[in-house]
Amino acid sequence: MTKRPHHILLPLLLGALPLPALADASAGAIERGAYLAQIMDCAGCHMPRGADGAPMPELGLSGGSVGFEIPGLGIFWPPNLTPAVTGLGGWSDEEIAAAIRTGVTPDGRILAPAMPWAAYAALSDDDVIAMIAYLRALSPLETPRLGPVATAEAAPAPFYRVTFPAP
């Protein structure tokens, strides 16, 4: 059996903790979640951008239209975070909490390294509940999901490329 470092196990355990129900999310929790989403810059990735590259606030967090190329892994586009079917609509509160804290989706897929889940793993339960309340309160916007691709030639939309300086 392979031993895993504690810094890997802790986020997995944190994401598995049950959260209190959100059935009656208060306005205060939604407001706190909106504040957290703003300071955590969720829109920086998950808000679509126009042809000129400007953010499109009217589309909220319905999915980034500019992807990120991660050398050796491919190109990824940030998903829709609204409660739409093409977003988080079918996810439970616990599944959203696990994705925020561990970077793992309900189907076991690991979110691209661009998702800073390791920093979010330390969020308090109250803050995670507030984030979920905020995401659930967004207008559901159905948007096409851009799946990951391996090469620039296969990219269906613009993306940022990380390049390393020549030695």
pLDDT at residue 7, as a whole number: 40
Whether domain 26-147 has CATH 1.10.3470: the reply is no
- Give me the torsion for CA of 20, 123, 94, 34, rounded to 10°: 80
Q: In what order do the strands lie in the sheet with 67-70?
A: 74-76, 67-70, 159-161
Give the residue-averaged pLDDT of 16-34. 74
List the helix and strand counts (H, then E) for the chain: 6, 3
When comparing pLDDT for 76 and 12, which is higher?
76
| Span 100-155, pLDDT tens digits | 999 999 999 888 778 899 999 999 999 999 999 999 999 999 998 898 999 999 99
* % of the chain exceeding 90 in pLDDT: 70
Torsion angles phi and psi, residue 70, rounded to 5: -115, 110
Give residue limits of the domains in the chain: 26-147
Task: Give me the mean pLDDT over the 36-61 stretch.
Answer: 95
Q: Is the pTM of this model over 0.85?
A: no
Stronger pLDDT, 138 or 19, i.e. the higher one: 138
Angle between helices 125-137 and 27-39 (to 10 degrees): 100
- Beta strands (DSSP E) in the chain are 67-70, 74-76, 159-161
Q: How high is the pLDDT of residue 111?
A: 87
The answer, yes or no, to whether residue 98 has pLDDT greater than 60, is yes
